[in-house]
Amino acid sequence: MSGTYVIRGVRPVGAAALDLVVADGLIQEMGSGLSRAGAQVIDADGLIALPGLVDLHTHLREPGYEASETILTGSRAGAAGGYTALFAMPNTSPVADTAGVVEQELALGEAAGFVDVQPIGAVTVGQKGERLAELGAMAHSRARVRVFSDDGFCVFDPLIMRRALEYVKAFDGVIAQHAQDPRLTEGAQMNEGAVSAELGLTGWPAVAEESIIARDVLLAEHVGSRLHVCHLSTAGSVDIIRWAKKRGIAVTAEVTPHHLLLTEELVRGYDARFKVNPPLRRDEDVQAVREGLADGTIDIVATDHAPHPAEAKACEWQAAANGMVGLESALRVVHHAMVETGLLDWTDVARVMSSTPAAIGRLTGHGRPLAVGEPAHLALYDDTVRARFAIDDLRGRSTNSPYLGRELPGSTRWTLRAGVVTVRDGVVADAAEVHA
């Protein structure tokens, strides 16, 4: 149940400091010197008020891989990072390729209560790339799935991809593609280039991403459907998306926080926390994706939060799992890589981390500017502090963060989902408080 709060001295993006009154899950008043009888007062003097963040690319692992994460623990991690909605990727067990599984995920998210969990449906049965999954049934289920992806696996067959793009037009859906040519990346361990040659590790060439994106934007143009490119990571990919948008193709793209900051040079230490798919790229690619995000070629930041148990990372590089946790650190990394460098301002951050991901996923009620009558999905962020990212900052089940020990700016002090406090003065609420 949501309470009544007076939030004092907060700084909405693009506006002067003011007070907010939150009650019945909505923003009821905005102004100066506000009060409400019986309300709890939140001293937010100087904190930035962002609309609750929305992640279009999260791995919550449940059902099937609860040793890595559950919908509850992942939801808590999301709240800690300022998120109020998470889109859950379908690589679960069983795969989220039927109405029954996506409705189960929706129900588990509702029971957890920390964020709105929106399931993503698989494009193909079992993510095997052989035949289309029950796209229509998932779209018309209680979960109202609008985003479909075989993430972790590329929809490699062009005929299957064309049919999927055609099918989702019927309910305004979007295909989110993991752009990776599987033949060009067999046995790949890191970005292909001088560093991979020096280390003797099999390379993951940029063209394996870029060739799939080029094919798929042409398919999307041909059938007149929406395409979303997951975790874009190369300078060439940015160029292709820029060309496609100029051509009027309905394509959107995301970049992860780690591809905005980290480079392939980190692989030299063979620390498997830095093993990810697509791999960390060259510094030139990092600069290109930053510029692409700044100029609007890349639409959003999505975490690709990929939790793994300790044993999946505490092993030799070749045997280690791909993936990084990222929900708790994403806003701080974007602050560091994009705001401190002057490439984005906080209005831009609200766009790329809240309003646009909600729009791409057709998620109503999220990503809305702060206004009277709007749902009280809020992240109150302190942009004046700096600290080393530590294990204690992680609130999920896994700890495979690439940022441990790295100094990052900022801190999420409060998160409210529909007027319910999920993070109170930097501490994630307990389940009893969320459901009170």
Residues marked active site are found at: 304
Q: How many Å apart are CA 220 and CA 216, to the nearest integer?
A: 6
The Cβ-side half-sphere exposure at 137, using a 13 Å CA radius, reads: 14
* 190, 267 contact by CB (below 8 A): yes
Amino acid at 284: E
Give the C-alpha separation, 221 to 212, whole Å: 14
Separation of alpha carbons 39 and 14, rounded Å: 26
| 346 three-state secondary structure | helix
Beta strand segments in 68-171, E: 83-88, 116-119, 147-148
One-letter amino acid for residue 104 of the chain: Q
Annotated binding site for Zn(2+): 57, 59, 151, 178, 231, 304
Reading the block at residue 151, the tokens are 């993430």
What is the Cα–Cα distance from 32 to 139, expressed in whole angstroms?
44
Q: Provide CB contacts within 8 A for 256, sequence distance 6+.
A: 57, 231, 233, 301, 302, 303, 304, 326
Query: What is the rounded CA–CA span in Å between residue 428 and residue 436?
Result: 15
Within 10 Å of residue 46's Cβ, how many Cβ atoms? 13
User: CA quadruple 293, 325, 431, 6: dihedral positive or negative?
Assistant: negative
Annotated binding residues for substrate, written as ranges, equal: 59-61, 91, 277, 308
